[in-house]
């Protein structure tokens, strides 16, 4: 959504596209009205309200929101269910068809204050191991690592994930 704010949507493809367009529209309205970028907490609340409006005929999506707070660059993560009930976490949030597998792996591999290299390893190993155990999850994963100074995007298939420039 911006340089300091990401939303991940898993679920029904048409609902994902519809919700993504609606979120972009509401985000542009916010920027015009407030003349500033939206905070991750505010965006999470906006998304929760959008989903709750459709609670009787919900969008079949499970969104995750990740961002850096503007004041002190601390991470913000949250997840929601189909009707917008939020879950705020300090460690990790998961969603999708392999969420149960991801919970187990993330709980065993994640620990506080990981360095970027270690975080990449935990993310990629958790994602790839979970995707391998669930046929509906697809053939790979994309890991976005958000830094204060930029963003790193790493794509991978189930054979293994490699950073740019890393030899096989």
In the sheet where 75-80 sits, what is the strand order?
5-11, 61-68, 75-80, 86-89
pLDDT, tens digit (0-9, with 9 covering 90-100), for 64-107? 999 988 888 888 999 999 999 999 988 888 887 778 778 888 88
Give me the residue spans of the domains in the chain. Answer: 1-96, 97-168
Question: Would you state the pLDDT for residue 139?
Answer: 65
DSSP SS3 for 28: helix
* pLDDT reported for residue 165: 47
pLDDT in tens, 12-67: 999 999 999 999 999 999 999 999 889 999 999 999 999 999 999 999 999 999 99
CATH classification of 1-96 is 3.60.20.10, yes or no?
yes
The Cα 83–Cα 50 span in angstroms is 9
């Amino acid at each position: 959504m911006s340089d300091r704010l990401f939303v991940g949507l898993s679920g029904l493809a048409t609902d994902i596209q519809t919700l993504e367009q609606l979120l972009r529209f509401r985000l542009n309205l916010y920027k015009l009205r407030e003349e500033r970028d939206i905070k991750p907490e505010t965006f999470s609340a906006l998304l929760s309200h959008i989903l709750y409006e459709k609670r009787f005929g919900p969008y079949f999506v499970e969104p995750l929101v990740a961002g850096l707070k503007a004041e002190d660059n601390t991470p913000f993560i949250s997840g929601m269910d189909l009707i917008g009930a939020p879950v705020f976490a300090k460690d990790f949030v998961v969603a999708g068809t392999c969420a149960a597998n991801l919970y187990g792996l993330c709980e065993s591999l994640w620990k506080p204050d990981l360095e970027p290299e270690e975080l990449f390893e935990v993310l990629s190993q958790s994602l790839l191991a979970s995707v391998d155990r669930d046929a509906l999850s697809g053939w790979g994963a994309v890991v976005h690592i958000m830094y204060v100074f930029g963003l790193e995007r790493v794509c991978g298939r189930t054979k293994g994930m490699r950073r740019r420039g890393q030899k096989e």
